[in-house]
Structure 1
Amino acid sequence: MRTRHLLMLLSLLALVVGGCSTAGATNPTGAGVQPTADVLSGLAEDEAIAALLPADVRAAGVVKFGSSVGGQPPSSYYAEDNKTVLGQDVDLAEAVGRLLGVRIDREVAAFEVILPALGSGKYQVGTGNFGVTEARKKTIDFVTYINDGQGFAVRADDTRLTKVENLLQLCGLKVGTGAGTTFEATLEKEKHICPDAGKPAYEVLGFAENAAVYLGLQQRHIDVVMSTINGLRHAAANQPNLKFLNEFKRLDVGFAFQKGSPLAPAFRAAVDKLIQDGTYLRILEKWGTKDSAIPESLISPPEHA
């Protein structure tokens, strides 16, 4: 069933964006972001923070990133040239790189493959709005840089849901979300609650592309979307017939590393410096996410209850 829906939605997506650039289809900037604002001028290497890097990394002068790129702000998305990656994750990574005196070598990869690739050594750092969870912390270390989390959205003309406070409210509905995300994991883990309560189970439809999720919602093949709080708020402010319902659960978000990576302390110190000197807030204001600011960076803090 899930495969059939996936193929159907991908076909619909191809029809919608056929003959158009990817940027035109999936990269609305819209209200709440200032993608051309220069918020990194004046940032230079901080010798004390750079000294926290392993000697081999400092000598190489480069850190290999695996980055998931979504279809819209604020986290990450493609510019109109369909090559340049923009967004909050990009600015924060670049700011950290400047303080550490290293170049960010970014490879775009699918969200679900980045964390396993950290373990294999393919990447040294992962970005993609990765939420800090106890399950992920078994193999991954995080250096936090924002507080985002899980939320829900529906079509503005759909009155069946006004707020999702319990997943039992989703019984009998089709829920669209990102493949390999905490949203998908949460939904799959709790999927039993509807049959346990004598109600029809909800169906989880996971997709690699945000555009396919939103298209499926508007085409009524999906009833509700579960995604990032900041991403859904931006989408609801810029897409017709889309309504953000509510926050469901907050999660710290961070740079991801192989467990025990010696890079983590240096990245934490760099994020803290950005918070202290005001650069951090300027980046968040640029992308309309200042309500998700954190007071300090932490390495693999406990998951929010």
Structure 2
Amino acid sequence: MSPSNPRRTAVAALGLVSALVLAACGNPSDGGTTEAAATEGAHAKINLSPQQDRVTTGKVDSIAAEVPEEIRERGTLELVSSSGSAAPLTFYATDNKTVIGVESDIAYLVADVLGLEPHVKTVSWENVFVGLDSAKYDVGFSNITVTEERKEKYDFATYREDNLGFEAKKDSGLRITGPESVAGRTVAVGSGTNQEKLLIEWSEENEKAGREPVDIKYYQNDSDVYLALRSGRIDLYLGPNPTAAYHAATTGETEVVGTYSGAGATLQGLIAATTKKGSGLVEPLADALDHIIDNGTYAKVLERWGLADEAVTNSEINPPGLPRTTP
């Protein structure tokens, strides 16, 4: 396996998410579970309790042997994720101390394959990278997007698509398939985000084509966004697809009506396990990810968190990332 190995999933695509028919089924604080439909008519329970009953798999000796000797002898895989992440990425169970989410579930599976005990730490976003730089942590599973700039300091083994999600009020009848779908629509977005950049580009494209621009709105927090969505003051909210899908699953008030690559129209953005460049871990990480993809445990984890639409077919080492921003 090498950086040039074509491990890519689909190229950038704008797709409707009929696979994300999501429904709320009770208060998570009552029974510790909620439900999401990974595919229409097929519901999977989301366990929010400390007793996670995680999906597990066995050690693969040939892949474990690829791990640098120092880590093998230590016997642990030091994992890090951002404490600022939201459900279903990395968050706390109902005991407010057990780290759960799709990121930790995939990290645990990788540790299983490598025969290592996973130690998961949550830190602020910037300290994820500080810890990787200092070798305090071996690998980051923290919804980290591959970028050309980051590739100078880190090695990446991909494990999920990086998609943005358009969230609308339940049964809105909206379907977002391109810039024309949001012409004249009122759309909320976070300031300074990749989502804002996309929305501004689409609005400008609409104007050039003689269509109405997008009425872009900014809110300070998510609660204000969802209040505006419920009251009809906005038509759509554009944010990260995992959090949009999870919100739809746990409230039943909204639905994801379209997704788009976080890298834009010509490149599918990818989320990757991130390790210090030259650490010797990227090959075993990618091989471990390929193994769990092949044996089906990876799919079970994504289905568990309602993210089956972000699956990749194999793990790619250091693929093309988001381009540098021109000053």
1:248 equivalent in structure 2: 260
For the 8 Å contact 1:97–1:104, the answer to whether it is kept is yes
- In structure 1, what residue type is equivalent to 2:45? Q
Larger helix proportion, structure 1 or 2? 1
Gapped regions of structure 2 (runs ≥ 5): 1-27, 38-43, 262-267
Q: How many percent of aligned residue pairs carry the same amino acid? A: 26
Label 1:173 to 1:120 Cα distance change in 2 as closer, same or farther (>3 A).
Answer: farther
For the 8 Å contact 2:35–2:46, the answer to whether it is kept is no
Q: TM-score, normalised by structure 2?
A: 0.67
For the 8 Å contact 1:155–1:217, the answer to whether it is kept is no
| SS of equivalent residue, structure 1 residue 34 | strand
Label 1:294 to 1:217 Cα distance change in 2 as closer, same or farther (>3 A).
Answer: same
For the residues of structure 2 that align with 1:284 and 1:158, how far apart are their CA atoms?
Answer: 26
My pick for the range that moved more, 217-226 or 90-99, is: 217-226
Give yes or no for the alignment of 1:275 onto 2:293: yes
CA drift of 1:92 comes to 1.2
1:29 equivalent in structure 2: 34
Give yes or no for the alignment of 1:236 onto 2:248: yes
For the residues of structure 2 that align with 1:293 and 1:260, how far apart are their CA atoms?
Answer: 27
2:282 equivalent in structure 1: 264
Equivalent in 188, 191, 207 of residue 175 of structure 1: 188
For the residues of structure 1 that align with 2:125 and 2:167, how far apart are their CA atoms?
Answer: 21
Q: TM-score, normalised by structure 1?
A: 0.71
Give yes or no for the alignment of 1:72 onto 2:87: yes
For the residues of structure 2 that align with 1:65 and 1:226, how far apart are their CA atoms?
Answer: 30
For the 8 Å contact 2:163–2:240, the answer to whether it is kept is yes
For the residues of structure 1 that align with 2:189 and 2:150, how far apart are their CA atoms?
Answer: 22
For the 8 Å contact 1:168–1:194, the answer to whether it is kept is no
CA deviations 1:47-72 (Å, max 9, x no partner) are: 21111111111111122222125443
Instruction: Compare relative contact order (CA 8 Å, sep 6+) and give the higher one, 1 or 2.
Output: 2
Measured on the aligned residues, the alpha-carbon RMSD in Å equals 3.7
CA deviations 1:165-202 (Å, max 9, x no partner) are: 3399589967344x99xxx1453587588689697984
1:219 equivalent in structure 2: 227
2:155 equivalent in structure 1: 141
- In structure 2, what residue type is equivalent to 1:136? R
For the residues of structure 2 that align with 1:102 and 1:55, how far apart are their CA atoms?
Answer: 12
For the 8 Å contact 2:33–2:45, the answer to whether it is kept is no
For the residues of structure 2 that align with 1:58 and 1:166, how far apart are their CA atoms?
Answer: 50
My pick for the range that moved more, 31-40 or 86-95, is: 31-40
Label 1:171 to 1:111 Cα distance change in 2 as closer, same or farther (>3 A).
Answer: farther
For the residues of structure 2 that align with 1:276 and 1:218, how far apart are their CA atoms?
Answer: 38
For the 8 Å contact 1:174–1:203, the answer to whether it is kept is yes
